[in-house]
């Protein structure tokens, strides 16, 4: 292992890493994905580690939304 390489280069994917390291990587990716949401749609930090509460939060959030999309296609874009 060379200096500057934090892990063994033979590890090709996240599933090859030890569980503790892969768990931390997955958790960081999950938290980062929460930060991509608009602030009003982000789950509170106190439920980030509780799967059941997080799932309920997401269900309640999506239940209050209008999930329809208005798609307007100009006539000139429609092929005959």
Domain assignment of residue 49, yes or no: no
Domain assignment of residue 55, yes or no: no
Who's near 16: CB < 8 A, 6+ residues apart?
A: 10
Number of structural domains, the chain? 1
| pLDDT at residue 3 greater than cutoff 60 | no
pLDDT at 80: 65
| pLDDT at residue 8 greater than cutoff 80 | no
Domain assignment of residue 26, yes or no: yes
Structure confidence by residue, pLDDT tens digits, 31-55 = 888 888 888 888 888 888 888 988 8
Domain assignment of residue 58, yes or no: no
Query: Can you give the residue range of the structural domain that contains 28?
Result: 15-39
Who's near 78: CB < 8 A, 6+ residues apart?
A: none
Domain assignment of residue 25, yes or no: yes
Tell me what the mean pLDDT of segment 23-33 comes to: 87
């Amino acid at each position: 292992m060379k200096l500057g390489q934090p892990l063994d280069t033979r590890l090709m994917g996240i599933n090859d890493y030890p569980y503790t390291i892969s768990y931390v990587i997955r958790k960081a990716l999950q938290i980062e994905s929460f930060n991509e949401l608009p602030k009003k749609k982000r789950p509170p930090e106190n439920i980030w580690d509780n799967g059941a509460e997080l799932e309920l939060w997401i269900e309640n959030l999506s239940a209050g939304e209008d999930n329809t999309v208005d798609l307007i296609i100009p006539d000139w874009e429609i092929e005959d």
